[in-house]
Each structure stands twice: as structure tokens, then as C-alpha cells.
Structure 1
Amino acid sequence: MKQVKPLLIRQIIHALTQLHSTAKVAANQAHATATHSESVARSKYETFGLEASYLAHGQTQRVAQLAQNIDAINALPVRYFQQADAIAVGALVIIEDTQQQLQALFISPCAGGIKVAFDCRQIEADLAIDEVMLITPASPLGAALLGKYLDEQVRVDIAGNVKLVEIIAVY
């Protein structure tokens, strides 16, 4: 396990870096569209240029947020959780729902909802999970898992849908 968690963090950084690169291209394209001579309004009813500038601003904010996310993950100390440790930021948690579906979750300080390709068989041979989802403490599932322990059952209310999950592993 000591070699696996740094590998997972590298995969997360790689995924965020790819998203950052894609967002930079989109921001540059949006900026070029917003500043193009064809985008100049010829009447008060032509809003294409204004809409393009809003899009460029939003894309620029996305680029900045992704850069901050990369910095936050890079700064995250690698922590190896023991069976008796409470779940905290930096934990890789395996949960099982009532339909016996397994899910791998990384409690992250940022970038919640991003899924990263990662073969969990590297951790344990019987973990047939090929992706890890990042969740933050601010999310309903993240908040429900924080401070919990291995083998606990957790009730999670996600948009009015109550789900029961069991914590089957913490790394």
C-alpha cells in the first residue's frame, strides 16, 4: 500500500492537469471569440460579443480553479490510514451499498466529483474497482463519512434520496 497511494495521487494530479490544459484551450478560444471584430455589436440587440465575454470570463475562472486544485493536491501530505483511524481528508475509502456495489472514494480537499482511472486491485487483489471518485468534506457523502470508522454503516441523504452504505476499507 505504501507505493499505491502516491500512485493514486499522481493519477489525480494527472487528471486535473489534463482538465486544466483543456480548460486553458477553451478559455483562449472564448477570449479570441469575444475579442474578434465579428463579435462587435452593431445594434443593442446583438449580444453575441457580450455572451462571448461572459463565457471567456467563466473559462478563465475555471482555469484558475483547476490550478488551485492541482496545488492543493500537490500540498496534500500522503497519509496511510490504519484500521483504527477515523476517516479524514486524504483517506481512500471503499464503501458498499445495499445492492453490494463497491465504490472507491478519495476524500479530497477539492475537485469533488472528478473520477480518476485507477485499478484498486493494486491495493487488494479482490477489489474489482477501476476508478476512484474524489469527494470533498462539503459534499453530503463526504460529510457523512468524515470521522467514521471501518465497518460502520452510514446513512447519506443526497437530494432527498437516502442511501445506506457500509465502510469496508480505509487506506
Structure 2
Amino acid sequence: MDKSLLQQLVLTRLEADLQAAAHAAQVAHETATHEENIAENKYDTLGLEAAYLATGQARRVEAIRQAIAMWRQLNLRPFAEESGIALGALICLVDEHATEQLLLLGPNGASMKLLHDGQTIQVISHEAPLGKVLLGKTVGDDVSLRIANSTQHFEILWVQ
């Protein structure tokens, strides 16, 4: 599987998210500053609420911009057995029910599912619980992840 194509799919999705978030921030800002939303009394909070929303949307825009920058800088190297799983790795895990899943381990800000060649690839951050467990591991290693009251066990089938 072509990891550079997967990286491009992530960037395309992030750029679409950025456009949507920027539009939402603009609309919230316009609402907050519109003359009809000037408070007439202390209970008239529409303008204030819109200002809070605009601030949150602006932060979201900045977070997506940072994620795009990190994904653009991501160097997709071939898997090296001696160094183990690192950022940019494409990993196939199998659980105790023989269910396989594909993961693309990347920087923060792009948790998503990609569909490529009929396969679903879950993009996860290296700081996500499963991402942390996988760092440094290699093919054939078993990993366990405790979520709430249950523990999930996986074996690493292959890595690219």
C-alpha cells in the first residue's frame, strides 16, 4: 500500500476540515459583531455567546493548520525492524477474534478513517493510547490496551 497516497488523503481531508472550520469561524465572528446582537440588557447574551463560539472556532482553525503542517513534514520511511514502529508506519493488527485492522500512525490532529482500495485504514496519533503502546514494537509483538473495564490484545502482523 502506498503510504504517500495515504498521507495525501489525510492532507486532503484536513484541508477540507480547515475550510469548513474557517467558514464557521467567519460566520460566528459576523454574528458576534453584528449590530443587531449588541446587548440591550444584562440578560441579552447572544453577542457574547457568539463571541465565545468565534473564539473556539478560531482555535479549531489554528489546530487544523498545525496538523496540516505536521502531516506535510511527516517523513514516510520504510519500516526498520531495528528501530521498531515509528511515526508514518502502516500497521496491520489482529485481535483475539482473528479480526484484522489497518492503522496509520501519525502526528496529532488527524484521527480519521480512510477508505483506500476497499480497505479501511484508521489514522491514529502517536499520542493516542494505542499509538503509545505501538511505538517501538515490531512484527510478531503482542500488545495490550486497557480501555475502561476490558483489556484488548493484539498481535502485530506486519508493518510498512
2:51 aligned partner: 53
User: What is the CA–CA distance in structure 1 between the aligned matches of 2:126 and 2:76, rounded to whole Å?
Assistant: 17
Number of equivalenced pairs: 160
Identity %: 38
Q: Distance in 1 between matches of 2:30 and 2:80?
A: 51
SS for the counterpart of 2:144 is: strand
1:147 equivalent among 113, 122, 136: 136
Are 2:157 and 1:168 equivalent residues in the alignment? yes
2:69 partner letter: D
Secondary structure (helix, strand or coil) at the match of 2:152 reads strand
1:81 to 66, 79, 82: 79
C-alpha contact (below 8 Å) 1:83/1:170 kept by paired residues: no
Work out which of the residue numbers 89, 94, 97 in structure 1 matches 2:95.
97
For normalisation by structure 2, the TM-score amounts to: 0.91
8 Å CA contact retained: 2:25, 2:57: yes
| Residues 159, 137 of structure 1: alpha-carbon distance in 2 compared, 3 angstrom cutoff | farther
Shift of 1:130: 2.2
**Unpaired runs of at least 5, structure 2:** none
CA contact 1:6–1:78 (8 Å) conserved in 2: yes
Name the SS of the counterpart of 1:77 in structure 2.
Answer: coil
Q: C-alpha distance in 2, partners of 1:20/1:95?
A: 31
**1:64 aligned onto 2:58:** no
2:109 aligns with: 111
Counterpart position of 2:13: 15
What are the superposed Cα offsets for residues 21-76 of structure 1, whole Å, 9 maximum, x if unpaired?
11111111111111112221111112111111111111111111111111111111
Question: 1:43 maps to what in 2?
Answer: 41
Go from structure 1 to structure 2 and tell me whether the alpha carbon gap of 1:7 and 1:112 turns closer, same or farther (over 3 Å shift): closer
Deviation at 1:118, TM superposition (A): 2.2
Distance (Å, rounded) in 1 between the aligned partners of 2:49 and 2:100? 43
Judging changes above 3 Å, is the alpha-carbon distance between structure 1 residues 145 and 29 closer, same or farther for their aligned structure 2 residues?
A: same
Residue type of the partner of 2:142? Q
Cα deviation for residue 94 of structure 1 reads 1.1
